[in-house]
Amino acid sequence: MRRLLVVSVMAAVTCLLAGFPSSAQQSPPLIVVEDHGGVSALPYYEALDLQPATTPQTPLTEAPRPPPRRFSEADMLPVRSARLAPGEVQPRAIQAPGLTPLFLVGDDDRSRAWLRAHAPRLRELHARGLVVNVETADALATLRSLAPGLTLVPVSADDLAERLGLHSYPVLISATGIEP
């Protein structure tokens, strides 16, 4: 047997606007808009004993605010790369197309001598310098004074060292190779 119950949209809107009360413990009865026959699924829904949906109260959290002052490069110091130390670098070929040439140095005698000797070529290559071991802003400034016109930034290079299998610096890394 087919039941056909059509509830007009206007009647539903009128009920909503009239503010008919609804019980919080009991869901409103289902309204069949159209029935093409078959077996009702209502017993399955009733067996679930579903509670009305409630919105959980979550505490409001305040977004972090930026610090009241700006940080300087000196605030990033000291920088230490545990996987790297001054030493001999074995040259080898790599394939890193598009890699901007970069070099790794530290605040040590070997790096300072290497930087003085290679500064003209590094400028020619537009290489960027990573100072991987440096304690103070004065030490960083000294390294920069040895190679004017080159960018030198203090940064730990442990991840880079692991990925490239590096253990020593100073080193030049380009798209085609690693060289001392």
Tally the domains of the chain.
2
Token couple for 86: 């001054």
Nearest residue to 157 via CA among 176, 134, 140: 134
Residue with the bigger pLDDT between 103 and 31: it is 103
List CB contacts of 165: < 8 A, sequence separation 6 or more.
none
If asked whether residues 35 and 104 sit together in one domain, one would say: no
Looking at the structure, tell me whether residues 113 and 162 fall in a common domain.
Answer: yes
- 55 assigned to some structural domain: no
**Is residue 119 classed as helix, strand or coil in its secondary structure?**
helix
Q: Are residues 81 and 44 in the same domain?
A: no
The long-range contacts involving 30-33, CB below 8 angstroms and separated by at least 24 positions, are 31/5, 31/7, 32/3, 32/5, 33/5, 33/6, 33/7
Same domain, residue pair 92 and 172: yes
| Residue 100: inside a domain | yes
Query: Using CA atoms in the order 161, 162, 167, 169, what is the torsion angle rounded to 10 degrees?
Result: 0
pLDDT tens per residue across span 85-105: 999 999 999 999 999 999 999
Q: For residues 131 and 41, what is the distance between their CA atoms, to the nearest angstrom?
A: 70
Q: Give pLDDT tens digits for 149-176.
A: 999 999 999 999 999 999 999 999 999 9
Angle at 134 between CA 130 and CA 135, to 5 degrees: 150
Give the pTM: 0.62
Q: Is residue 104 part of a domain?
A: yes
Tell me the residue range of the domain where 27 lies. Answer: 9-48
